[in-house]
Structure 1
Amino acid sequence: MKRLAQSPRGRVFAAALFALALCACDRSAANAPIADQWRGIDVAEAPVAFGAAEAGRLQYRGGLELSSDERVFGGLSGMEVLEDGRLVAVSDDGQWFEARLVLNADGHLVGVAEWRTALMRNERGDPFPNKRAGDAEDLAQLPDGRFAVSFEQTQSIRIYDLNRDGPFGPAVSGPALADTSSLPNNSGLEALASTADGVLIIGAEGGPEAVTPIWRARLDSPERVPPSARYPLASGYSLTSLDRLPDGRFVALERFFAPVIGPRARITTFEFNASGAIQNVEELARLEAPMPVDNFEAISAVRAADGATRLYIVSDDNFSRRQRTLLLAFDVVERQE
């Protein structure tokens, strides 16, 4: 992931490991009840005014600026919002987060409650030893309830049975991907989604080219899976997150940053044709100042109670005081035939 600002990530990761040691949360704690594996944290929130009712084909449905005195809070890079309102997120410092969204009677996002956190684990059930190993970027819930997580700096996929094992459960290695060695430094496996039958859709962040590779990989793929499609990026943008829409298509989040101009975001939908190529790419919206925009890294799609397609996006603050953790909600405005 490209950094928008310098940040003391190594110190934050070390502090998290030290706190874990103080709590005696070593590998043996994996046998503890799931509720005891999590640690509750206080997260403050403030409403975010969008300045307009709509952006492109997105209707604003509330937003929050999130902050915490907890040093581990921040760096949110991947997120899934489930139909029951549960939020599951990962940070690129190798941390799990869980919370519950609070909506008002009109379905607007007005709060996030019951925050808790835990360090992610590797295949041995140990916390990741350093920032490079634990650089989680996106996650996707599989049809069986497990979660797949992409790791950018090691170009790998891991599978977690978070509901069964809790956050201390060991990871299972996911499918191996071919042709990742040529990806630009810090611009590796960034975006992740799952089809309805459990095929992983994995996207690289991308570099100066106008397209970025997409892999379609089954969990049981016996050999390294080569990229099979190319996602078209807007000029100057990079791919940061994917999710499956309720109708089976996919939604993509792109990010732009340049000095003086600042951050921007682009949200699109697309689908695959019978041969596996990407088609029907449609831009839903571009977010830019004076809208509230930061380093948006993750997107999640869910069916709202009224039947609308609800999108949530969250920004990675890079643990920098100059950036914010923004959680925004939008409903997709359907085209009038």
Structure 2
Amino acid sequence: MGKILLKSLQALFMGAFLTLAFASWNTALGQATVTTDKDDYAPGEYVIITGTGWEPGERVDFTFVETPKPESCVNSHDNFATADASGNIYYDGFLIKINHLGVHFVLTATGQVSGRVAVTEFTDANVKFSTTGLPPNVNVTVSYSGFSPPSPGSAISSSVTFSTGGGGNGASGNIALIGNLNFQFPNTITVLTTVYTLVSTSPTSPATIPATGTFGIEATYIVGKGASTISVNAVGPFTYNSNPQGPDAVTKSGSTGSVTFSYVGVSPTTYAASATKPTNAGSYQVTATLASDANYNGAVSAPLAFSIGKAASVTTVTITGAPFTYTGSSQTPAIVSVTGAGGLSLTPAPLYVNNTN
């Protein structure tokens, strides 16, 4: 029994010894690590640096190499951390700034006692495109144009393709851009026989990129045709001029189909519904209809009321033969004419009063 217990203790001791020896062997081989909490950062975010496998208590120096090196970045970002009793390091003092946009960083960590070296990389970008409503593992290509950093920036026109991933709500990697941004998601995406239609983006294009933080742009898709909207723009006032007239401009979204109008009189004005604008003075309303296209359903606007006012007329009295001499008889030298819009031209008979004495 004593021999069995002794052998068990020996085996336990040997296992512990081998574990410690293996750990020491790993340390001796210099298997130190350094990593950052993200692969990409936006301006205003701090880089969190951690690592393992360093000599306990040693100083670990950080050296940052920037490509391209911003001209406005004159101060070194190099710094250090001290390994704790377990050989772990932690540093959170590196703030990403706006002038870092578009920069690729290579971080080299060097132990000042152990001589161990570890390297990692990260980037600084700020614009990210994403989708919702699409099935998993669908490739989405977004075209965009804007300006590359640093300010004032150079014009850039490009595109990015990303997958919706396993959950169906994928996102692109960050892109370094500044200023105004124009972008376009696909209007439709066909997966097998199902058509997904773009119904909105948040924010809409064009957009202004903020100076700090990640700028996310999300596109929403639905199955089938998207919804359209249309409204008739209020214009006027209208005055009778003998020509057909009325509102004929719209604000619409969605379908690129044709737009038709229907004009109808409103009591007491009598005018049957017609695609032709009314001519006569009166009260009316107009409705616009937007036809569907391959991607969007059609839409009908709410009725818009409008009126055509009466035109002014001009009455002219012309007296000929003046001056006049008393004759004892009535004198009728007047000629009356009435003119107005629409070719109005009348010559009514004048009415005389006291035209004898």
Q: Is the TM-score greater than 0.5?
A: no
> Could you tell me the TM-score, scaled by structure 1's length?
0.21
Greater Rg by CA = 2
